[in-house]
Amino acid sequence: MSSSQKLILPGSSVQVNDSSSIYNGYSGFVQRITGDRAAVLFEGGNWDKLVTFRIKDLLLV
């Protein structure tokens, strides 16, 4: 891994980058990582939602 690449770790702020997902463009916080997937917490207004994504579909923000 080069020094220009950043790791996605629990607590990281991420944005969903998957055009087939209804969450595309949403930003949230990584809660946990298991294998090649990360659970992302979205908070907004009257709702909180925890959704699992492939790590490759997430961008650090």
pTM of the model: 0.88
Query: For residue 6, is it within any domain?
Result: no
Number of domains in the chain: 1
Q: Is residue 56 part of a domain?
A: yes
At 9-43, the pLDDT tens digits run: 999 999 999 999 999 999 999 999 999 999 999 99
Domain span including residue 54: 13-60
Domain CATH for 35:
2.30.30.140
Phi/psi for 56 (5° steps) reads -70, -15
Residue 32 placed within a domain: yes
Does residue 21 lie in a domain region? yes
- Whether 43 maps to a domain, the answer reads yes
Q: CA-CA-CA-CA torsion for 4, 10, 11, 14, nearest 10 degrees?
A: 60
Residue 45 lies in a domain: yes
Q: Is residue 22 part of a domain?
A: yes
